[in-house]
Structure 1
Amino acid sequence: MENQNQESFPSQPNQRLSPPTHELPPISSNEQTQKRNGPESPQHDVPVQSPKSSRNANLPPPSCPQEIVVEILSYLPVKSLLRFTCVSKSWKTLKSDPFFIKKHLKTDPKFSKKRVLINSGGAQIRGITTFSVNAIFDDPIVTNTTFEDLSYEWVVGSCDGLICIATSQDAIILVNPTLRVSKMLPDFGFKKSWNSDCYTVYGFGFDASVDDYKVVRIRSYPNEAFEDGYESVVEVHSLRTNCWKMILELPFGIPFRTAGKHVNGTLNWHVSLDTIISLDLAQETCNEVPQPCYGDGASERSLGVLDGCLCVLCNFERLYADVWVMKEYGKRESWTKLVTITYMGVPMYPDNYEYFEYFAAPLFVSRSGEILLQFSVELILYNPKQNEFRTPRFGPLSEAFDCIYHAEVYEESLVSPTGVNQPS
């Protein structure tokens, strides 16, 4: 993994938007042509030009307005933009231009910048691998790109192309896998004795009020003074200030051992089947999130994010699962049932029902309505129109993904973890 000191990155990639001021160079070779064919060359006779032709030759070379060039480049993948930095100085500065970075993030009409990150373990590969979302749905055999061997690490979440990873040594790393740039966060500083009854959950998101990326750590440890016998402390790291602070003691109970889901400037966890809590990254306060009426027989539930909306997959005793989406965050009436997924026909349906796993929350929905979700340690695709399942094919590397620990959808971006504005 590339160290942040090996390459100079923009110092302000996430500041408030302002129009780009770069002058893009005109693309023309008229002057070189005139030198080759001019009267100073004794080798060739220069044909006499008509007055009209002569006037056109003296016109300035054609150029494309800067706004149009920026618009076109914003549709390109990051790797193409990095290759094009050699075209001119102004094109090179685009990768660090705050206006262009934000514009590039918002422009992805065909999901060409969306990728699936898989943390897996297998006979051939142990680490983190990424795939194109379109390839998962459309290609007969999915090709892969493994960017780092980070075995047995916990993927906390993703935001604007940045991936947050927690290591087994309790360290936190932010990485942009497309830029191949990473940053290790400083030590927490807040120390407390730990034992086997203590555990930690994380979350990662963006605070738009100050253009800042924040990592949240919730640590729970036994304390008889609390009703449930546990005390939970919330700590937040600001990428802008590059330091941690303790903000509050969690009043709603112990979060499930899953990463917080980032939606609309909040991080969300289940603390019980009937309770979802959210941490507002701007206000640094906790609130309870209203849930839909699932109906009788609801059992296991999992949180997820679909198209920027909070979603819940609610299982009904391994018979079927309902997927609910909160169209307008924080409003109970905006919960909408997206689809019901039956367990019948699952490709890896086990013979031993005792160890049968549940569906996890969906990862992505294609334009045709096909749903990508994780089932046990496998990825599967569900077509609700035909009520059919299929599994992505990974070709020769299929055995490398016989155990998928975590899957996350992220987008390619120019946001660098080492370039967030630091206070002066």
Structure 2
Amino acid sequence: MVKKNRILLENKSTHSHRDLRMAHVFLSDDLIVQVLSLLTIKSLMRFKSVSKQWKTLISDPTFVKLHLHVEHQKNIWFRIWNPATKTISKRLRSSFGYLTPLRYTFCYDNSTTTYKVVVLFPTHQVKILNLRDNSWRTISSFPPFHHVTPSSRIVNQGVYLSGTVNWFAIQTDLSIDYYHHRKDITVDQFVIISLDLATETYMKLSPPRGVDEVPHFEPIITVLMDCLCFSHTLNLTHFVIWKMTEFGVEQSWTQFLKISYQNLQVDIRFGQYGELRFYQLIPLCLSENGHTLIFENSVSSQLILYDLRDNRAEVTCDNKINWFLAKNYVESVASIC
């Protein structure tokens, strides 16, 4: 007879009513081992205190070997959902481990009329998933000595525009953190690396020439009005957005907006001594009439609606939504895969 353990699970679906119910679920020892083998080492150390049996299990050499194998060899699956048609793709095979920090970009290859997922690894290796046949390809890594800074892991996962994927990077052979090593960086090291999905080749683009000093916070690239945009803070008083009116032509950079943080109702200093904190203001999208620009405040999960006509901002706050993960969505009836 297979031994079973009883585990109490919280029914999270009733949180809105503050009615917490406990369900009794029985899991076999084998299943518990499989579940625990997927956890991080930090979590396993915590779960040692659950019971003597779990402490013994987690310390067992057989489990240690299993966990090491899973950590290095486990592959994951994911699906892609089309909100317009309410259809979901089949399970898509991944070729990397569960715990690997990655940057994903969902995109469309005009040359082959195929949807693709571009994945950038911490080692700067790039893999492309073709959703037509669910196949992965590894392409050439980033040009040498170009570093995508750690802080861009969230806000700069790759920007798709006209058959290309673009990342902000710094030309250096060092693995640096922008926020803590800003004084060691020069504007001349700034670069935008653009991957052409059709040719699978890279092109380097320079930022606007009007950027003559290293901003206190890492610059951000986004797409507004179907144009590549470069955004940065200026003297801790203004937020500036540049627009590349003709993609790939560096001479076409023009200053689109220069907005004071005061008008945006943003205070980038905090604390008793007014110290400076890491801060990212992320342009999400521009309304169809061109009157309202929507920003996300990475510090406090605020959504800022800025009216360009009267330079006024309306600040909303919803702690249940991670706005920094928001992407522009265009409805399509096309089959994903």
Spell out the pairing of 1:240-319 with structure 2 (5 A cutoff). 240-252=132-144, 253-255=146-148, 256-257=152-153, 258-272=156-170, 274-299=190-215, 300-319=218-237
Counterpart of 1:187 in structure 2: which amino acid? R
Counterpart of 1:414 in structure 2: which amino acid? V
CA contact (8 A) 2:220 2:232 kept: yes
CA contact (8 A) 1:302 1:312 kept: yes
Distance 1:368 1:287, change over 3 A: closer
Measure the CA separation in 2 of the matches of 1:319 and 1:298: 14
Q: Which runs of 5+ in 1 are unaligned?
A: 1-122, 126-168, 222-231, 419-424
Residue aligned with 2:251, SS: helix
Equivalent position to 1:389, from 313, 317, 331: 313
Q: Percent identity?
A: 26
Counterpart of 1:203 in structure 2: which amino acid? T
Partner of residue 134, structure 1: none
Residue aligned with 2:327, SS: strand
1:405 Cα deviation after fit:
4.1
Equivalent position to 2:84, from 168, 174, 178: 178
Partner of residue 245, structure 2: 327
1:342 Cα deviation after fit:
0.8
Equivalent position to 1:233, from 125, 128, 132: 125
Counterpart of 1:327 in structure 2: which amino acid? T
Partner of residue 187, structure 1: 93
How many correspondences in the alignment? 234
Measure the CA separation in 2 of the matches of 1:213 and 1:399: 32
Counterpart of 2:131 in structure 1: which amino acid? L
Q: Which runs of 5+ in 2 are unaligned?
A: 1-14, 18-74, 171-188
Please state if 1:374 is matched with 2:310: no
1:172 Cα deviation after fit:
3.7
Counterpart of 2:292 in structure 1: which amino acid? E
Spell out the pairing of 1:145-160 with structure 2 (5 A cutoff). none
Please state if 1:411 is matched with 2:333: no
Spell out the pairing of 1:42-81 with structure 2 (5 A cutoff). none
Distance 1:284 1:382, change over 3 A: same
- The CA deviation string for residues 369-409 of structure 1, in whole angstroms up to 9 with x for no partner, is 2211112221111123322111358xxxx5644x5342222
- The CA deviation string for residues 326-385 of structure 1, in whole angstroms up to 9 with x for no partner, is 111100111111111110133453643533623113422441522111122211111233
Measure the CA separation in 2 of the matches of 1:238 and 1:359: 33
Counterpart of 1:265 in structure 2: which amino acid? G
Measure the CA separation in 2 of the matches of 1:301 and 1:318: 13
Please state if 1:363 is matched with 2:285: yes
1:170 Cα deviation after fit:
5.3
Counterpart of 1:379 in structure 2: which amino acid? L
CA contact (8 A) 2:302 2:316 kept: no
1:288 Cα deviation after fit:
0.6
Higher CA-based Rg: 1
CA contact (8 A) 1:202 1:259 kept: yes
CA contact (8 A) 2:284 2:327 kept: no
Question: Which fold has the larger relative contact order, with Cα–Cα distance below 8 Å and residues 6 or more apart in sequence?
Answer: 1
1:200 Cα deviation after fit:
2.0
